[in-house]
Amino acid sequence: MKNPLANKDIAIIGYGEIKNVRRSGRTTYDVAAEAASKVLEYTGLGTKDIDGIATVLPSSEAGNNFWSNYLGDHLGLQTSWTQTTDIGGASMPGNVARAAAAIQSGYCETVLSIAAATPTTRRVDDQRSYRSEFRNPTGIQGPPGAFGLIMHRYMHQYDLKFEALGKLAVAQRNGAVVNEYAVEGLRKPMTVDDYLNARMVSTPLRLLDSVMPCDGANAIIITTTERAKKLGVKNLAHPIAYSELTNFNVHEQLPDITETGFSIAGPQALEKVGMSTEDIDMFHPYDDFLIAEMLQLEQIGFCGRGEGSDYLLSTDISPTGKLPINTGGGQISAGQPGLAGGQINIIEALRQLFGEATDRQVPNPSTAMCTGIGVIPYVRNWGSSAVLILERG
Amino acid sequence: MAAREKRPRPAPTPTNITQPFWDAVNEHKFLLQYDPEAEKYQFYPRGLSVHTGKRNLEWREVTGKGTIYSYTETVIPARGFEGEEPYLIAAVDLEEGVRLMSLLHNCTSDDVKIGMTVQLCWDKIDDEFEYFAFEPDR
């Protein structure tokens, strides 16, 4: 299987992340500027060293059809390659692959891949298609309602143990407690009972199954391994495999909604680089809801279909365990800065691979799998599934 | 917690694609797009057949009978449904082979089951617009 990332000629050389805050009152440009400034400082680069920009269209700027133009202009970037990706939470892992392809094709050499969103300050998205006619008038509670349907169907077909989801919630909360960038209100320990007793939103989905929306931003810099070495950067990680699938099963009118594009993209990403799940030192999945992480574990192949509950209950998922999961709290416990949340897990994986995760450091990791999820189509599971495998350089 | 202020239930704005569908709903008829070449229905209504990519779609009236594929009880209400919680939403597989989602009436969370048979019924959104919903087929 063709893998354009196989020879490790692409490197991620730094990250920048800002504190997740609810209703910050700041503009999307200002939070982006803080994240950009941080990653430039981390790498020792200046604005004139960047010749490519990749970003995601956030709900706080969704009415702007020149988003990447305005963002690059605000940040003082003259670019020969400019990319806005709009597959939601799959956009930022997607941008690593898009930036790598652009660099390999010679359109640019050094890309700022930046995600910024302030949905708890300003939200201007207006999604039409099926939503205004066939979703909003039904009274379904948005994504929690859609995942309520998915969870009940999963329970019909398989065995769902809520204490397994509770264990995952607690493990991620432990990460958020020691993550200075997490939403401050979430930095309190919780128990499995707290999860089990949490208020229902849309049965059987509870409040603590869900993310806490907030404002935030994060950025990474992607370049050639050759340039990274010339620059003498202190840390680098290679993207070594990537697979993405959008509109999984779109032709089927009665799809199994417990199944997602990860059943294809997950095994495919591993196959591209000749790895199995045993070769993944830590898992940083996109986590809009806890059940989404369980579905990914099953469909990527960490365990069998329907075995997610038992896998979670029998596996140490803490930073020192067999498969550390979302060690910084993920979006569920650190907060979801809108679609900028789609890069939080990549930042945490880099922090771990670079040995900079302090209180939550995974012992000497060399590989990480990060994922992204985008959109919820009409009465289906999510629409975009992205799998990115990173290796310490 | 203070009760949430009741806002109007969102009404669909028919488009050039969906106008025949909503016109029919307002006459208590349910139309699906049918691809005569693939011999398959599709939902939601689109500008072409997802099965073949052709714009040869026909509107066909269907019975509105089906079975519950999944369900959820909404506890924190969506916009326009404040004060109506808790209420049930069902994903329903119609006999014609498409899946729909809407409110499930005349049924409680104790009675709802995956696989139970349901039929379409009608909901008034406002004086001008009706919407489709489901109820147990008894």
The topology (CATH level 3) of A1-393 is Peroxisomal Thiolase; Chain A, domain 1 (3.40.47)
**pLDDT over 90 (residue B48):** yes
pLDDT, tens digit (0-9, with 9 covering 90-100), for A235-245: 999 999 999 99
- Among B10, B78, B99, select the one facing A253 at the smallest CB separation: B99
- Is B114 in Cβ contact with A152 (below 8 Å)? yes
Is A127 part of the contact surface with chain B (CB cutoff 8 Å)?
no
Indicate if the pLDDT at residue A161 is higher than 90.
yes
Cβ <8 Å between A133 and B15: yes
Q: Establish if B122 touches chain A: CB-CB under 8 angstroms.
A: no
Residue A160 has pLDDT above 50, yes or no: yes
Mean pLDDT to the nearest integer, A207-234: 97
Collect all residues with Cβ–Cβ distance below 8 Å to B2 and sequence separation of at least 6.
Answer: none
Smallest Cβ–Cβ distance between A148 and the set B18, B69, B72 belongs to: B72
- Choosing among A127, A151, A253, A254, which should be mutated to test the B contact, i.e. which has the most B CBs within 10 A? A253
Enumerate the residues of chain B whose CB falls inside 8 A of the CB of residue A254.
Answer: 69, 93, 97-99
Question: Could you tell me the pLDDT band of residue A43, with boundaries at 50, 70 and 90?
Answer: very high
> B33 Cβ partners below 8 Å, 6+ apart?
B41, B42, B43, B45, B46, B49, B57, B58, B59
pLDDT tier at B126 (50, 70, 90 boundaries)?
Answer: confident
Q: Is the pLDDT of residue A158 over 50?
A: yes
Task: Tell me which chain B residues have a C-beta less than 8 angstroms from the C-beta of A142.
Answer: 78
Average pLDDT over residues B41-51: 97
**Chain B residue with the nearest C-alpha to that of A206:** B75
Q: What is the pLDDT of residue A129?
A: 86
pLDDT tens-digit map of A319-343:
999 999 999 999 999 999 999 999 9
Q: Is A46 on the interface with B (CB under 8 A)?
A: no
| Residues of chain B found within 8 Å of residue A138, distances taken between Cβ atoms | 89, 101-103, 131
Residue of B nearest to A256 (CA): B69
Cis amide linkage into residue B136, ω under 30° from 0 = no
pLDDT over 80 at B103, yes or no: yes
Of all residues in chain A, the percent with pLDDT exceeding 70 is 100
Contacts of A144 in chain B (CB under 8 A): 76
pLDDT digits (tens, 9 = 90+) for A343-384: 999 999 999 999 999 999 999 999 999 999 999 999 999 999
Q: What is the average per-residue pLDDT within B95-110? A: 97
Domains assigned to chain B? 17-62 (no CATH), 63-138 (2.40.50.840)
List the one residue out of A286, A237, A238, A288 whose CA is nearest residue A262. A286
pLDDT at A119 over 50: yes
How many Å lie between the alpha carbon of A379 and the closest alpha carbon of chain B? Answer: 7
pLDDT at B4 over 70: no
Q: Do residue A251 and residue B41 have CB atoms under 8 angstroms apart?
A: no
**pLDDT higher than threshold 50 for residue B34:** yes
Mean pLDDT of A304-315: 98
Residue of B nearest to A199 (CA): B75
Q: Is residue A214 scored above 50 in pLDDT?
A: yes
Contacts of B120 in chain A (CB under 8 A): none
A81: closest CA of chain B, how far (Å): 33
pTM attached to this predicted model = 0.97
The position carrying tokens 């670019």 is A79
* Chain A residues 185-214 with a CB less than 8 Å from chain B: 199-205
Among the partner-chain residues B11, B42, B76, the one whose CB lies closest to the CB of A137 is B11
Average pLDDT of the segment spanning A142-160? 98
Tell me if chain A has a CB within 8 Å of the CB of B80: yes
pLDDT of residue B6: 82
Q: What value of ipTM does the predicted structure carry?
A: 0.96
Judged by CB atoms closer than 8 Å, whether chains meet at A141 and B76 is answered as: yes
Q: What is the pLDDT of residue A188?
A: 96
**The pLDDT value given to residue B3:** 58
Closest CB to A202 among B22, B50, B75: B75
Q: Does B67 touch chain A (CB under 8 A)?
A: no
For A4-25, what is each residue's pLDDT tens digit? 999 999 999 999 999 999 999 9
Taking contacts as CB-CB distances below 8 angstroms, the residues of chain B near A203 are 72-73, 75, 109
Which pLDDT band, with edges at 50, 70 and 90, does B1 fall under?
Answer: very low
The chain B residue lying nearest A255, using CA atoms, is B99
Mean pLDDT of chain A: 97
Contacts of A137 in chain B (CB under 8 A): 9-12, 80, 125, 131
- A123 near B CB under 8 A: no
How close, in Å, is residue B137 to chain A by CA atoms?
Answer: 20
